[in-house]
Amino acid sequence: MQSQVIATTPIPGQKPGTSGLRKKTRVFMGPHYLENYVQSIFDGIGGVAGRTLVLGGDGRYFNDRAVQVILRMAAANGAAKVIVGQNAILSTPAASHLIRSRGTDGGLILSASHNPGGPDEDFGLKYNTPNGGPAPEAVTDRIHQATQVIREYRILEAQDLDLSAPGTARLGEMTVEVVDPVADYAALMERLFDFGAIRRLFAGGFTMIYDAMHAVTGPYAVEILERRLGAAEGTVRNGTPLPDFGGGHPDPNPTWARELYDRMMGDDAPDFGAASDGDGDRNMILGRGIYVSPSDSLALIAAQAHRAPGYRDGLKGVARSMPTSAAVDRVAQAMGLPCYETPTGWKFFGNLLDAGRVTLCGEESFGTGSDHVREKDGLWAVLMWLNILAETGASVRELMTEHWRRFGRNYYSRHDYEAVETERAEAVMDGLRSALPDLPGREVEGLRVAAADEFAYDDPVDGSRSERQGLRILFEGGARAVFRLSGTGTEGATIRLYLEAVETDPARLDRDAAEMLAPVARAAEALSGLRRLTGRAGPDVVT
């Protein structure tokens, strides 16, 4: 087999965002696009000669083709071994686990997460470091620099490898090990959670719907929930992964997992409902007649994790992204746990987890996870909830009601304004940024601004600083409005407005979130002119 050196030139725009490089699939399929980026990853991490990598993706359109290209490039660049998921499939948390448990030099994960898939939709690729987590900014910066100076890439001239069954093969000098994508991950979950207790819960008639959204977690959920835990057959819905996710948005939130949401609010709702996203790292949690916001789910888990065997000794600390509500802070305070506030993006949790400062992390963007891997983990969150439900014997509603009574409630909602013209979005952000110094003390819509700033983060472990991570307006009494531009979109700009209001009055803990947040929403509009400046009547997505 011949290793080829192909001449190329830098392709503009190959800059990793919140979570790797995400582009339209056709862009990734364009001449040299994937190859340039893969070579730049290899160059940016100091080459892959003699190294072992993990490789797999969420099964979206072009996943299978891209994996074959990456295998040939890894071989031509001298990699010793690539561990690849059967049929090129690995959920993001399963990939993170493999990277760690096999002591590899990192991995390449192909996914655009919750974005739709297909020839006209989105594709993505990211590099995870040997700790199993998304590459930190210092690494993604080097990868980006490499994309700007690339002159050539290396690729082996070879036929596609058969990845349809576990086993070992050679590609030139390189070993390719094809692994069952579910086995190791399922074994890890069995170590963390009390499968016996959850099995008894299901045996006692507990009912559940798990919506895999035609994405990667289907096979994982069938194996774990139905086979190992004995949930009724059919508990897992939309369990067959499809390259275009059945034409849907594989994003577990009340908008895109509408059918599940409506079912859970209906008369014939099961006890528990959950969903995960395209690559298996996100989760949505529902009980009969109740939606648990991701921020509340994080707080509840922080308070109850000790009920699961893997967390019996308690938590070392907790972390949340800045726009995530402070519900978990209240738990941390009450339990005497360190609590960290990081910028948006799971990569910012990596150092805290590696340094043993935190056990549990979460984000408002439907991500929850722990130090068991270095990614958020959808099924992990579902199993954690099941373990808590099994141990307490309470319903989701009872658990949340009790939680709010004990800690107070942070009403929370996120409003997304999608595909806004970039200039307009920047005008909103620039206008608000320059107004920030004048906001403290201002009264608007019955609220008084206590502080306003642009969030910056100093990593307590490596001392690195990340600036411009969102505009915050804090009101007296704990209410808050945060403005951020999304770092994961592929078209125009998405403005995210995060709204929060604190309530400790026991008589006001069970209200409608939109109603409780209406004043802070009006104040946010008055101070930013978001709707006025974008010409939008309201958000496209509310979570």
Given the rule CB under 6 A, which residues bind ligand G6P?
18-19, 113, 321, 344-346, 363, 365, 367, 486-488, 496
Residues forming beta bridges with residue 542, ordered by sequence position: 415
Helix (H/G/I), strand (E/B), else coil: 135: coil
Catalytic residues: 113
Q: Which residues bind Zn ion (CB under 5 A)?
A: 113, 277, 279, 281-282
Nearest approach in angstroms of CB 496 to ligand G6P is 6
**Nearest residue (CB) to Zn ion, 281 versus 371:** 281
Nearest approach in angstroms of CB 183 to ligand G6P is 25
**Nearest residue (CB) to Zn ion, 236 versus 275:** 275
301 in Cβ contact with 360 (< 8 Å): yes
**Nearest residue (CB) to ligand G6P, 363 versus 500:** 363
What does R_g of the chain's alpha carbons equal in angstroms?
23
Nearest approach in angstroms of CB 49 to ligand G6P is 30
Angle between helices 33-44 and 63-76 (to 10 degrees): 50
Nearest approach in angstroms of CB 414 to ligand G6P is 9
Consecutive H or E run containing 292? strand 290-292
Task: List helix spans (H) across 102-150.
Answer: 137-149
Q: CA 474 to CA 323: how far, in whole Å?
A: 12
C-beta neighbour count of 304 within 10 angstroms = 21
346 binds, among Zn ion, ligand G6P, none (CB under 5 to 8 A by kind): ligand G6P
Nearest approach in angstroms of CB 455 to ligand G6P is 13
Place of tokens 């045996």: 203
The token pair that represents 401 in the structure block: 């009601």
Please choose, from the candidates 343, 365, 347, the residue with its C-alpha nearest in 3D space to the C-alpha of residue 133: 347
277 binds, among ligand G6P, Zn ion, none (CB under 5 to 8 A by kind): Zn ion
309 binds, among Zn ion, ligand G6P, none (CB under 5 to 8 A by kind): none
Q: CA 408 to CA 401: how far, in whole Å?
A: 10
Nearest approach in angstroms of CB 290 to ligand G6P is 23
**Nearest residue (CB) to ligand G6P, 39 versus 528:** 528
**Nearest residue (CB) to Zn ion, 277 versus 377:** 277
Nearest approach in angstroms of CB 367 to Zn ion is 8
141: CB partners within 8 A, 6+ apart? none
344 binds, among Zn ion, ligand G6P, none (CB under 5 to 8 A by kind): ligand G6P
**Nearest residue (CB) to Zn ion, 367 versus 470:** 367
279 binds, among Zn ion, ligand G6P, none (CB under 5 to 8 A by kind): Zn ion
Residues forming beta bridges with residue 20, ordered by sequence position: 17
Q: Nearest-5° angle of CA 178, CA 30, CA 63?
A: 25
Q: CA 166 to CA 177: how far, in whole Å?
A: 7
275 in Cβ contact with 213 (< 8 Å): yes
533 in Cβ contact with 524 (< 8 Å): no
Place of tokens 């408002």: 364
Task: List helix spans (H) across 293-395.
Answer: 294-304, 327-335, 350-354, 378-392
Q: CA 370 to CA 313: how far, in whole Å?
A: 14
**Nearest residue (CB) to ligand G6P, 209 versus 497:** 497
Q: CA 132 to CA 99: how far, in whole Å?
A: 5
486 binds, among ligand G6P, Zn ion, none (CB under 5 to 8 A by kind): ligand G6P
Nearest approach in angstroms of CB 251 to Zn ion is 8
Helix (H/G/I), strand (E/B), else coil: 73: helix
**Nearest residue (CB) to ligand G6P, 181 versus 323:** 323
277 in Cβ contact with 109 (< 8 Å): no
363 binds, among ligand G6P, Zn ion, none (CB under 5 to 8 A by kind): ligand G6P
365 binds, among ligand G6P, Zn ion, none (CB under 5 to 8 A by kind): ligand G6P
